[in-house]
Structure 1
Amino acid sequence: MRAPLLHLPNYAVPTFAERLDRHGTEPGFEAVVGYDGTEPIGYAYGNTIESGDRWWARTANPMRPELTAEPTFVLKELGVRSPWRGTGAARRIHEELARGRGEERITLMVNPAAGGGKVLAVYEAWGYEAVSEVRPHPEAPPLVAMVRACRPPAGTPGN
């Protein structure tokens, strides 16, 4: 079985490696790898952006000033291997990464078509709010920019 999306230019392994090299040098970079015993099952990483960062400038709609005024953590990548999908592993990895951050909020961009819309729905269930559409570069699919507090409100599933 071919891994989903790897046939598309924006998701190709060499393109991912180039992004990871670049992202790893950005301010506030942090990564988490999840394990099941000694078996690596998934990862998440991101970095800090400031109010004038190009992340915010690429959104289709003007951003609310309260979202962009303070440093924000950007979740750049989150992935879980197939056997562990649907087990809560992605949520645990995500929350481990977000928990220790000093920023008040976390943002991400998601392809609304990923998983037939299921990925967007998962982020909404985790407390993210869609705030704009964005197309980071011509090879990227249209994405939805989402934001939430680094520590989700009490009562959010998984909290």
Structure 2
Amino acid sequence: MSGYELSFQRFDARQARALRDMVESIYIDAYATTIASGHEFDSVEQFMRRFDAYTKSDRGFELVVAYNQDGEAIGQAWGWPLGPDAAWWDGLVEEEPEPGFTRETGSRTFALSEIMVRANWTGQGVAHRLHDELLGPRPETRATLLVEPDNERAYRAYKAWGWRQIGRLQPRWENAPTFHALILPLPLSRRT
């Protein structure tokens, strides 16, 4: 990635709430086509409602923002560790990959909820750098994420970064589609 420098900054839930306008702006830029499709789940309002819910309590939420050499926020990724009462696995369509797979402790699984890059910066490795910046220092033993099956570009990237599908899942969010549920061993040095 020659030709430009990136910097990254981490924010907790309280700090992320103060960046709400920036988070929304990046979402609108990164997902303009998806938003234009008119699917209610992808609307700016529903996206920001989910963001507000994620940052409502401090359950270990972490936001990483990528900045270009001019200090412009060009991408973001966030997630949190799944606690014992987490609803993340509710709606898992297929049987558990192994007994106890969905049992959470608060230190077992990090949920990578969102990763996005402004349109002008896609295809330049920013998403992968955000991914590694967020997950690299995580103490959990695995990470999980959800990806829409028709989002082929993201799905290919995740597979190249070591993720594997473990089932399908439909979250309880209003108008949520069915996603592919993926898993990745942590630390990142254990990627296969």
Shorter-normalised TM range: 0.7 to 0.9
Deviations, residues 104-142 of structure 1 (Å, cap 9, x unaligned): 11100000112xx12111111110010011111361222
1:111 and 1:79 map into 2 onto residues whose CA distance is: 14
- What CA distance in whole angstroms lies between the structure 2 residues aligned with 1:86 and 1:136? 29
62-71 or 45-54: bigger deviation: 62-71
- Taking the TM superposition and a 5 Å limit, the aligned residue runs for 1:20-31 are 20-24=51-55, 25=57, 27-31=59-63
Aligned-partner Cα distance in 2 for 1:3–1:121 = 21
| RMSD across aligned positions (CA) | 2.1
Structure 1 stretches of 4+ with a deviation exceeding 4 A read 153-156
- Residue of structure 2 equivalent to 1:68: 102
Q: Which runs of 5+ in 2 are unaligned?
A: 1-28
Matched, 1:108 2:145: yes
Deviates more, 1:58-67 or 1:130-139: 58-67
Q: Extract unaligned runs of 5+ from structure 1.
A: none
CA distance in 1, matches of 2:138, 2:178: 28
**Larger-Rg structure:** 2
Question: Which amino acid letter does the alignment assign opposite residue 150 of structure 1?
Answer: L
Residue matched to 2:33: 4
Matches of 2:165 and 2:123 in 1, distance apart? 22
Q: 1:23 to 1:42 in 2, by over 3 A?
A: same
Number of paired residues? 154
- Counterpart CA distance in 2 for 1:84 and 1:65 is 41
- Tell me the residue number matched to 2:166: 131
Identity of aligned residues (%): 32
Q: Is the 8 A contact 1:130 1:144 kept in 2?
A: yes
8 Å Cα contact 1:107-1:145 kept in structure 2:
yes
Taking structure 1 as the reference length, the TM-score comes to 0.87
Q: Does structure 1 retain, via aligned residues, the 8 Å contact 2:111–2:145?
A: yes
Aligned partner of 2:185 among 121, 145, 149: 149
**Alpha-carbon spacing, 1:154–1:148, altered in 2? closer, same or farther (3 Å):** closer
**20-29 vs 71-80, which deviates more?**
20-29
- TM-score normalised per structure 2: 0.73
